[in-house]
Chain A
Amino acid sequence: DTAVSQTPKYLVTQMGNDKSIKCEQNLGHDTMYWYKQDSKKFLKIMFSYNNKELIINETVPNRFSPKSPDKAHLNLHINSLELGDSAVYFCASSQGDKISYEQYFGPGTRLTVT
């Protein structure tokens, strides 16, 4: 059973397009996150949601809009894609009970903007 899944795994698109990445977790966690990993492997938090409520927004351009229809899903929509958006995007989830601490990561979505 896949704990945290993301679709698509690869996404190649042109500048200016709008695209979405979907994330689902079947762990019953109530907190979900989006991280961006750049070409040098540097990982940075973008957003986190707790029970569908936005908790963290790390000065990400407003072209990026997360949407959480329920606590098992956190999708990432990106408008007007730019070359600099090319990266691997990781979704993660955690129990959010401040006890278990562990975040479970999805396999990543490699976005290439041409």
Chain B
Amino acid sequence: GDSVTQMEGPVTLSEEAFLTINCTYTATGYPSLFWYVQYPGEGLQLLLKATKADDKGSNKGFEATYRKETTSFHLEKGSVQVSDSAVYFCALSYPYNTDKLIFGTGTRLQVFP
């Protein structure tokens, strides 16, 4: 079946450091890929998405590229801020099928000043 694997957290960084959170997926078809972010005490918000191979999603300085050859969708940011501290979820879905999101286990990011 389909699944998403994320790197274990927490990821602890100093402000302005470079961030990478790894995400790989197993899919039976051609899914769309997403990164969602959950700030403390809140629900999930869509951070970025990519709907086909080689697409790059970007938002708020975060980027991720849909790599079909490596089945990956790694999240990157060049310079993190304290306000980026949150839990990040990689997910996939088939919008033309059931549309349900299949999530990875989440990676907690802690950024210190």
Contact = CB atoms under 8 A, between A and B. Distances in A.
A-B interaction: yes
Interface of A: 4, 31, 33, 35, 40-45, 48, 55-56, 58, 90, 92, 94, 96, 98-99, 101-108
B46 A103 contact: yes
Nearest to A44: B103
B44 A105 contact: yes
Contact of A101 (B44, B95, B105): B95
A33 B43 contact: no
Contacts of B36: 105
B103 A43 contact: yes
Contacts, number: 59
B43 A48 contact: no
B46 to A, nearest CB: 5
A90 B43 contact: yes
Interface in B9-63: 32, 34, 36, 41-46, 49, 51
A101 B103 contact: no
Nearest to B9: A41
A56 B98 contact: yes
Q: What 9 A-B pairs are tightest by C-beta distance, nearest first?
A: A105-B43, A43-B103, A105-B44, A45-B100, A41-B106, A107-B43, A98-B95, A102-B46, A101-B95
Nearest to B108: A41
A17 B36 CA distance: 33
Contacts of A94: 99
28 contacts: A35-B101, A41-B106, A42-B105, A42-B106, A43-B89, A43-B103, A44-B103, A45-B101, A45-B102, A48-B98, A48-B99, A48-B100, A90-B43, A94-B99, A98-B95, A98-B96, A98-B99, A101-B34, A101-B49, A102-B46, A102-B49, A103-B46, A105-B43, A105-B45, A106-B43, A107-B41, A107-B42, A108-B43
